[in-house]
Chains A and B, each alone.
Chain A
Amino acid sequence: MASIGRPQPVTTTELVERRLRGATLDWRGYVLQGVLLLSLLLALAVLAILLADIVIRSIPIFTERPLEFLTGQLSARPQRAGISQGIIGSLLLMGFVVVLALPLGIGAAVYLEEYAHDTRTTRFISTNIRNLAGVPAIVFGLLGLAVFVSLLKLGTTLIAGGLTLAVLVLPIVVITTAEALRAVPTSIREAALAVGATRWETVRSHVLPYAAPGILTGSILSLARAFGETAPLLLVGAVAGTFSSGGNLIAQLFGSYTALPTIVYNFARESKAEFRALTAATIVVLLVVILLVNATAIILRNRYDRRW
């Protein structure tokens, strides 16, 4: 009947009071919280292991011959191989992304957010861009292979690779820019329009300056994305090319090329043990660039994070 050792409540008030005090500890709640935190920490632990593992593997290269490694040419002999061609190739590819994808992407976003009326065509274009952003990178490689390499007869040149990467990040630039533009309140636009500014004057003098940090962050992040992208470059021929070194810029643009991530892939496929350290060292260079770029973006965003 009555449980032993536990005084029975005399009145209802006493019962309610005891319940409200929360006499029991919700240990299941703590377990749940722990498990949830663990799932997050587990992923971050893998990140930590990855960074540590790769840095440790790369130490021999960076202690023995850092300069030779960074400035040397690719070689089948691991003792002599350097990655200068990859660094130059990656930088030139980024040039294409900056020159092509950023202006076009920002322009498209400005049109969709500031100019276009909410018609069926506009909605079709935005849906289309969102879907493009979800297309696997390697499919963009196929596009590059079919259109830039074969149809336009550019061959497996740096131009074809640069165009492919630019097309790949374009939708991402549009989406992040559109988001930044949407965050600018309508009242800012109305203020400009009310004193007689045209659409473009409003956009240039009011909307873009306020959206600039967001646009910049998005652009930087898409650059980082392009920097580490490998699969599409393999399809448009970065792997076959070691850089046609020497010659002027134009000759390089129409020459064969390679990029840092494709070098990582090539080194990783080598079975000789010496290439492991070389791969790790190349990854360190790649990651330093990408993480620095990302950190810049995160800091920028936090600093200019504006609430209206």
Chain B
Amino acid sequence: MTTTKEAASRTLSLADLRLDPRRRRRERTINLVFMGAAALSIVISAAIVLSLIGNAFAFAIRVDPASIWTDGWFPRRGMYDIRTLLAGTLIIAGVAMLIAAPLGIGAAIYLSEYARPRTRALLKPALEVLAAIPSVVLGFFALTWISPNLIHPISGGPLFNMAAAGVAVGILIMPLIASVAEDAMHAVPAYLREASYGLGARKRTTSLRVVVPAAISGVVAAVIVGISRAIGETMIVAIAAGATGGSLFELNPFRPGQTMTAAMTSLAIGSDSVRGAALTFESLFFVGFLLFALTLGLNLVSDSFVRRVRERY
């Protein structure tokens, strides 16, 4: 008797659907904590942009305009020739891409179209190991092995040179290009391949004329992100390209050269305090700002290409 009475009096009300206050409070706190963690990324980005812009601006208004268009990059002598850095950066990134683009895209086609599952299970982790090698290690390798064994026989030039650094940077970014390009080819639906086979096309025709064109946006994205990474690579250049104090304007890849990134490290470690000469501290941030803008632009372009692949399939 009592049970039915109790049950009748306990019809569900709105309060039963609501969580008890303690659980609700906990939910809200946790939500806020996680939101804070996510918002932190905005804070970090803002901090990067602000710290770069502030000092870069200070450099831009105080520097003598003539000194950013002189014979070379010798910040401690007040010579801030940006062209020197840009030339070095482009040459090394260019050499790197000559190595990394063909190797990376070739490897991607092989892994996506030709490799049997077992081969793939062996080769992919091997590539990941290559990707995991820190750049400072590749820098040492560039100086002690690539330069004397690969570059010197061709050029006969100095041990420290941009070509050796470029080759090492190429090796460094090749796994990245392979992985991004392979993802794109993997996303190409099987029916496109089947349609091609159905028309009587061979494997090689299908791979080169159907899969690669269908994934071309992703392949382009891979190359662009590779360029961006090559431009931002620091340690290999700092060790192997050989211009620590400063550098004259140089276009010959077999000679020493300076990139934006390496210029920044040599500025930072050049003396015990970065605040040594007049504008060196600010010039560091000016170069950093250029580098940041350049890589961000490339990354955004690459991103839009990746999105195009994703939208299509």
Residues of chain A at the chain B interface (Cβ within 8 Å): 26, 28-29, 32-33, 35-40, 42-44, 46-47, 49-50, 53-54, 57, 103-105, 107-108, 110-112, 115-116, 124-125, 127-132, 134-143, 145-147, 151, 167, 170-171, 174, 198-200, 221, 224, 227-231, 234-235, 239-240, 261, 264-265, 268-269, 276, 279-280, 283, 286-287, 290-291, 294, 298
Q: Which of B115-155 contact A (CB under 8 A)?
A: 123, 125-130, 132-141, 143-145
Give CA–CA (A124, B42) in the complex, Å.
9
A146 close to B235 (CB less than 8 A): no
**Which residues from chain B sit less than 8 Å from chain A, CB to CB?**
19, 23, 26-27, 30-31, 33-42, 44-45, 47-48, 51-52, 54-55, 102-107, 109-111, 114, 123, 125-130, 132-141, 143-145, 171, 174-175, 178, 202-204, 207-208, 225, 228-229, 231-235, 238-239, 244, 261, 264-265, 268-269, 272, 274, 284-285, 288, 291-292, 295-296, 299-300, 303
- Measured in the bound complex, the distance between the Cα atoms of B180 and A14 in whole Å is 47
Please, which residue of chain B has its CB at the minimum distance from the CB of A238? B269
Q: Which of B109, B127, B303 contacts A43 (CB 8 A)?
A: B127
Which chain B residues border A265 with CB–CB below 8 Å?
136, 139, 235, 238-239
Collect the chain A residues with CB atoms within 8 Å of residue B203's CB.
Answer: 26, 29, 33
Instruction: Name the residue on B nearest A298 (C-beta).
Output: B125
A230 to B268, CA, bound (A): 13
Task: Provide the residues of chain B in CB contact with A151, threshold 8 Å.
Answer: 51
Residues from chain A with a CB closer than 8 A to the CB of B233 are 136
Contact between chains at A235 and B299 (CB < 8 Å)? no
- Chain A residue nearest in CB terms to B239: A268
B128, A294: Cβ atoms closer than 8 Å: yes
Residue of chain B at shortest CB distance from A198: B27
Query: Are A32 and B204 within 8 A (Cβ)?
Result: yes
Contact of B299 with A134 in the complex, beta carbons under 8 Å: yes
Residue ID in chain A nearest B292 by CB atoms: A139
Asked whether, in the complex, the Cβ of B175 is within 8 Å of the Cβ of A43, the reply is yes
For B231, what are the chain A residues with a Cβ–Cβ distance below 8 Å?
136
| Contact, CB under 8 Å: A276 / B144 | yes
A138-B264 in contact given A146-B55, A147-B51, A268-B136 (Cβ < 8 Å): yes
Chain A residues whose CB sits within 8 angstroms of the CB of B19 once the complex forms: 198
Chain B proximity of A61: nearest CB distance (Å): 14
Our pick among B47, B137, B268 for the contact of A283 (Cβ within 8 Å) is B137
State whether B42 touches A128 (Cβ < 8 A). Answer: yes
CB A260 to nearest CB in B, in angstroms, measures 9
With A131-B299, A138-B234: A116-B38 Cβ-Cβ less than 8 Å:
yes
Please give me the residue from chain B that is nearest to A50 by CB atom. B141
Write the nearest CB–CB distance from A202 to chain B, whole angstroms: 11
Chain B residue at minimum C-beta to C-beta distance from A112 = B38
Q: Which residue of A lies closest to B55 (CB)?
A: A146
Give the residues in chain B near A50, CB-CB below 8 Å. 133, 137-138, 141, 145
A130 to B302, CA, bound (A): 12
Contact B55 A137 (CB under 8 A): no
Q: Do A39 and B107 form a contact, CB below 8 Å, given A50-B145, A116-B38, A146-B51?
A: yes
Residue of A nearest to B237 (CB): A231
- In Å, the complex CA distance between A290 and B39 comes to 31
Report how far A114 CA is from B110 CA in the complex, Å.
37
Chain A contacts for B274, CB-based, 8 A: 145
| B52 contacts across to A, CB distance below 8 A | 139, 142, 146
Complex Cα gap A132–B44 (Å): 9
Chain A contacts for B295, CB-based, 8 A: 134-136, 139
- The reply to whether B129 and A47 form a contact with Cβ atoms under 8 Å apart is yes
CA distance A57 to B52 in the complex (A): 41
A–B complex contacts, Cβ < 8 Å, 20 sampled: A26-B203, A32-B208, A33-B114, A36-B107, A40-B111, A40-B127, A44-B130, A107-B37, A111-B31, A112-B38, A131-B296, A134-B299, A136-B291, A142-B51, A170-B40, A199-B31, A231-B234, A234-B265, A283-B137, A298-B128
Q: Assess whether A268 is in contact with B143, with CB atoms less than 8 Å apart.
A: yes
Query: Chain A's nearest CB lies how many Å from the CB of B125?
Result: 5
Complex Cα spacing A235 to B270, Å: 11
Question: In the complex, are the beta carbons of B48 and A138 less than 8 A apart?
Answer: no
A68 CB, nearest partner CB in chain B, Å: 22
Instruction: Give the shortest distance, in Å, between B279 (CB) and chain A (any CB).
Output: 15
A46-B27 CB under 8 A given contacts A134-B299, A142-B288: no
Cα of A40 to Cα of B39 in the assembled complex, Å: 40
A264 close to B137 (CB less than 8 A):
yes
Residues of chain B within 8 A of A38, CB atoms compared: 106
Query: Is there contact, CB below 8 Å, between B26 and A108?
Result: no
Q: Whole-angstrom distance from the CB of A54 to the nearest CB of chain B?
A: 7
